Structure formats: structure tokens, C-alpha cells
Structure 1
Amino acid sequence: EAQSPVHRQVTVIYNQGRAQESAAGQTIIQHVLDEITFAEGNISERYSIEPIPVDSRNLKFIDFLMPGVVAMSIMQMGLFSVAFSFVQLKSRGVLRRLQATPILPASFIFAQVFTRLSVSILQTLVLVGLAVVAFDVHLEGNLGIMLLLALLGGGVFVSMGFAVSGWARTEDVAAPVANAIALPMMFLSGVFFPRDAMPEPLRAVADFLPLSYLADALRNVAVDGASLWSQWENVLGLTVWLAVTFFIAVRLFRWE
């Protein structure tokens, strides 16, 4: 009576993100196992492959860096452009003279905010497009979600810029204040490297910075394909910062 063949399984872990290469590799491995079976002369005990897929997208450092750079550019645009331009207009008396014109002050402020938020959208599109075309960055998530996050983050840093311009009377004062706010966030918010490498006390503070919320949300969408709802904690953090900075900006802003 003929014995049914016994299959001796060999586990093969393969990257399901590279289907063609994985299939070719499994074919080669199976061929080698068949050769071993024939060489042993025991046809009743054959080797067989047990494939186990894993999700490995072969991420590069640029994939991690790109969302952080986008977040940093939004911060710099909102904070520095508003702070410097409005302090300059205030020191030259332009804002005071503007009050004598038919233009409503609220309309002027709205136009400035709208312009800078539009720039946030545009620079996000440019940076993401450049990363995809020039550096072969693979965008996993929805670009529309990234643009919504850019709008929210832009609102936070524009409000922060108005707060600085309201407190500072000259450009010489505005520059160090804006830098004192921006530079710590650039290095503590996980823009260039993961915050996991930080000491725990420092990380506990860095996790609550507005740039951390924005960079994390953009990175989760771009790299992991996360939905907007899954980023509710980061969105909530940005919303709280928006409310706080807007309140401070309203209290500090002066036309002269």
C-alpha cells in the first residue's frame, strides 16, 4: 500500500508590498526544496512552503521627514510672516492711518488671515509634490486630509503671529520673541527625528507643543494612511491651541 506523501513545512516570511519579487523568491525556494527532496530519495516526505505575509513598505528617512518639513513651513509662514509684517505696519503708522479709510479693520485682518492660510495650502501642495516627484516619496494617505490639517495648523500659527505682533512694538523686539517660540518647537516637536529618543521629562512637554500635534497628524496621514477621525487627539490639541492663541492675540493686538 502506497503511503501518502508527508509535507514538511518551511515557513517563508515575505513582503506583501512587493508581490512580484516575493512570488519569484517563493518559486526559487520551492525549487530548491524539491531538489533537496529528490537528493534525499524520500519522495514520501516532501517539503512545502508556508508563506506568511508582512506589511513592509521600505520607508526611507525622507518619508518620515517630509510631513515634518511641511508642518515646520506652516509654522514659519504663520508665525514669522504675520509677526514681522504687522509690527512693521504698526511701527510705520500704516495701521493707524488705515483706521481713517473706509476699509473696515476686520475686513483687513480677514484678508491677511485668508492670504496666509491660502499660502499654507499652496506650500503644502508644493512640498508634497516635490517630495513625490524628486524624492520618490510614496503618499499613503489622502492629500485632502493633509490640506485640512494644514488649514488648522496655519490658523494656530497665524494667531500666534498676531499675538507676537500685538505685544512687540518694533521689529527688533518681534524677531527674538518669534525665534524664542519657533526654535524650541523645531527641535522638540519631532520634525527631524522621532521624539521617542528624548528623555521622558522633555518628551512629556514636547508632546503638547502645537507643532508636535501638526507634525504627528500630517505624518500619520502621509505615512500610515490614517483617516481624519483617527487623528482626533491631534486635531483636538490643535483646536485648543487655536482657541488659546486666538484669545491671546485678541487681548494683545493693538493698531498703534
Structure 2
Amino acid sequence: MNIKRFLAVVKARNLEFVRDKSSLGWSLLFPVILLVVLSFVFSGDGKAAYKVGVINIAQTDSSFLDTKYIDFVDYQDVTLAQTKLSQHSLDLVIDFQRQQYWINQDSPNGYLVEKIFLASQPGFEALTTMGEKIRYVDWVLPGILGMNMMFSCLFGVGYVIVRYRKNAVLKRLKATPLTALEFVSAQLTSRAIIVMLTSSVIYAGCNVFFDFYMLGSYFDLFIVGILGAASLITLGLLMASRSKSEELTGGLLNLVSWPMMMLSGVWFSLEGAPKSLQFFADFLPLTHLVSGARKIITEGASLADVSYHLTIMSVMTILFLSLGAYLFNWNTER
């Protein structure tokens, strides 16, 4: 190994990075932005110890709702709340208008919350339910698969486009009759096939060992997965539509991937989270992919039940694909 040549390459690479003002600026700003976002998301008095579902919480006026360390989640559908309770996702469900509450007899947390509730609100009718607790591995499965798809879709497409542009592959393709829309559509199709095949193999292989909880249809789950992959792939194409710098493209892809990884319900539920946070999460494709898949797996939802998520992902795919094709640059010049 020649130290002189080695140091020359190190110096040249460092100078290249420093001279790329956009990449340098992003490298300085991204950690600051991430710290600000995380400090906002995880600020508060502490993690709630229990989670209670309340039917029509907006029409409820009770001092029990001021109890500390309990998350109160609003539900309009009593059946859905009872399903969550039977799966141990909720510790108690209360309907203040009907003076009733539901408790899962197999839930230790439910037993404790019931005692706290009755101490301040006596006279409610107790109704019971039973159900098998969903393991955390079953609940987090859609998030893990979705996150893996996200990185494969974004970085697997973004970096390839930039490399093609830097190596003048795109410049040569421009001399052919191929249009930008045809090129990005082909990239979308190719990556979607790869992502769905790998995700299916991962799910099937892990299912042999973990025996995953599944109430819905595998066909419905596949539809949610393909639409989620399409929205993420087209987002990656949009991020790389004009850039010729791997560093800048990496920064842009991190800009969209990190918020999705933290705020799309991959690791924890957004139920009970601030409304502003839930509103922001609705603009993230991974949120709809994870939420739709999780409802099918844990609640047995149909495509009609997750039509909202399917619609949002379809609209995002069309929007990102159109913008990506319109802004696409074949050449290496900025």
C-alpha cells in the first residue's frame, strides 16, 4: 500500500465533499433537524403506564380523563375498541354515555386500571371480554417489513439513478426514443417486482419459525404492499430526478426516510399521540403502508376497510411519478 497515493485520494475526496456546498450544508443541518424533531416527539411528563379507549371522548366530561399516566384514545366504533381490548392493545374501554365499561379478564393491566377507574367513577356496568394477546412480534411485523421496503425502494432507486447520470448512461439513453416517463415507469416496475418478491420470501421464511398472527387475506395484504412499494419507489425517483451527487441524494433520501421510520407507526402506535403529529404522519407513505397492513393482519380488515390508505398511496404514486418524469434530467449538468 502506497501511503502517498492513499493520502492523495483521501485529500481529493475530502475536497470534493467540501466543495459541494449543498452536501456540506445538508450534513450540518440534518443532525440539528433530527434533534429538534425527536425532542418534540418524545417531550412530555413521561410515558403513560396504561391505555384506555373512550367512546366519543369529545362528548365526555369526566375528572377521570385528567388521570396522569393514562393515555385516553377516542373511538367512535365500539366494536373496533372491543377488538383492541381483546387483543390487549387497550387496557379498558369506557362508554360514559351508557355508563358501561369493558375489561379483558386475561389482562393484568386491565385489572389495575379497573380499580383506579371505579375509585373515581362508581356505579358503571362492567362487561367482560376475552382474547389472545397479540405478541409484539406480530404487531411490529408490518412495521419491520414496511421499513425494509422503504430503504430498498428509496435507496435502491435513488442511488442507481444518480450513478447512471454520473456515468453518462442516461445521456446515452437520451439519444434513443426512450422518454423520461417510460424510463421512470420501467424503474418503478422493476424495483416493485424485486421488493415484493424479497418481502414475500422474508415473510414466508420467518412465518415458519414465528407462526405470525393473521386474521385477514394474504391477497389484500399483497395489494397494500404493492401500492405502498409503488409510492415509496416513485418518491425515491423524485428525490433523484435531477441530482448528480450521491451525498446530496443521500441527504434527501434521509430527509424523507428518517421521519417515516420514527413517525409512521413502525415501532409504536400513534393512537393517543398529539393531533398535529398524526396530521403530519398522514403525509408519509410508510404510515399508510404500515397502518393498512397492520389492520389486515391484526384486525382482519378488508380492502374496503383500508380504502383510505389505498387511495392516499395511489394518489401519492401518481403525483410522485408525474413530478419525477417532469423534472427528470438526463444529463450530468445541473
Identify whether the pair has TM-score above 0.5, normalized to the shorter chain. yes
* Cα displacement string for residues 123-145 of structure 1 (whole angstroms, at most 9, x for unaligned residues): 22123213322222122211111
Out of 199, 209, 220, the residue aligned to residue 124 of structure 1 is 199
Residue by residue over 1:5-30, the C-alpha shift from the partner in whole angstroms, topping out at 9 and shown as x without a partner, is: xxxxxxxxxxx99xxxxxxxxxxxxx
1 CA distance for matches of 2:132 and 2:205? Answer: 20
C-alpha displacement at 1:104, in angstroms?
6.6
What is residue 73 of structure 1 aligned with on the other side? Answer: 148
SS in 2 for 1:230: coil
Contact 1:124 1:147 in 2 (8 A): no
Gaps (5+ residues) in structure 1? 1-15, 18-51
- Which residue matches 1:82? 157
Partner of 2:257: 182
Q: Which residue of 2 aligns with 1:144?
A: 219
Runs of 4+ in structure 1 deviating by more than 4 angstroms, as ranges, are: 101-108
Deviation readout 1:134-180 (Å, 9 max, x if unpaired): 22212221111111111111111111111111132211110011001
> Which residue, 313, 316, 322 being the options, matches 1:247?
322
Change (3 A) 1:102 1:233: closer
Q: Which amino acid in the other structure matches residue 204 of structure 2?
A: G
Offset of residue 81 of structure 1: 0.9
Q: Check conservation: 1:159, 1:249, Cα contact below 8 A.
A: yes
Contact 1:84 1:174 in 2 (8 A): yes
Paired position in structure 2 for 1:154 = 229
Q: Give, in whole Å, the separation in 2 of the partners of 1:190 and 1:246.
A: 25
Higher helix share: 1
Whether the 8 Å CA contact 1:132–1:138 is kept in 2: the answer is no
Q: Give the letter aligned to residue 83 of structure 1.
A: G
Residues 105 and 201 (structure 1), Cα distance of their counterparts in 2 relative to 1, 3 Å cut = closer
Match in the other structure for 2:75: none
Between Structure 1 and Structure 2, whose CA radius of gyration is higher?
1
Alignment partners' CA distance in 1, 2:328 and 2:294: 33
The amino acid of 1:172's aligned partner reads E
Distance verdict in 2 for CA 1:219–1:165, change over 3 Å: same
Q: Following the alignment from structure 2 to structure 1, what is the Cα–Cα distance between the partners of residues 281 and 177?
A: 45
The change in CA–CA distance for 1:195 and 1:164 in structure 2 (over 3 A counts) is same
| Equivalent in the alignment of 1:203 | 278
8 Å contact from structure 1 (residues 117, 151) kept in 2: yes
CA offsets per residue over residues 218-253 of structure 1, 9 Å max, x none?
A: 001111111111111111111221222122212221
Aligned-partner Cα distance in 2 for 1:245–1:106: 12
- Aligned counterparts of 2:302 and 2:284: Cα–Cα separation in 1: 22
Q: CA deviation at 1:75?
A: 1.6
Identical aligned pairs, as a percentage?
28
Aligned pairs for 1:1-256 (under 5 A) are 54=129, 56-101=131-176, 108-256=183-331
* Superposed displacement of residue 206, structure 1: 1.4
Q: Which amino acid aligns with 1:166?
A: S
Closer, same or farther in 2 for the Cα pair 1:55/1:220, shift >3 Å? farther
Q: Which TM-score applies when normalising by structure 2?
A: 0.57
Following the alignment from structure 2 to structure 1, what is the Cα–Cα distance between the partners of residues 196 and 321? 20
Q: Which runs of 5+ in 2 are unaligned?
A: 1-85, 88-126
Determine the C-alpha separation between the residues in 1 that align with 2:135 and 2:278.
24
Q: How many residues align?
A: 207
Provide closer, same or farther for how the CA distance between residues 168 and 197 of structure 1 changes in structure 2, counting only shifts above 3 A: farther
Q: Quick one: distance in 2 between partners of 1:114 and 1:69? A: 23
Q: The residue matched to 2:258 in structure 1 has which SS? A: helix
The one-letter amino acid of 2:245's match is T
Distance 2:136 2:206 in 1: 12
For the residues of structure 2 that align with 1:83 and 1:93, how far apart are their CA atoms? 16
Alpha-carbon contact 1:66-1:131 (below 8 Å) kept? no
1:224 & 1:131 partners in 2: Cα distance? 21
Distance 1:103 1:210 in 2: 29
User: Normalising to structure 1: TM-score of the pair?
Assistant: 0.73
The answer to whether the 8 Å contact 2:150/2:229 transfers is yes
Offset, 1:101: 4.9
Separation of aligned partners in 1, 2:202 and 2:263: 22
Question: Are the equivalent residues in 1 in contact too, given 2:153–2:232 (CA < 8 A)?
Answer: yes
Q: 1:98 to 1:207 in 2, by over 3 A?
A: closer
Moved more, 85-94 or 106-115: 106-115
* Root mean square deviation, CA, Å: 2.3
Task: Report the CA distance shift for 1:175/1:72 in structure 2 as closer, same or farther (over 3 A).
Answer: same
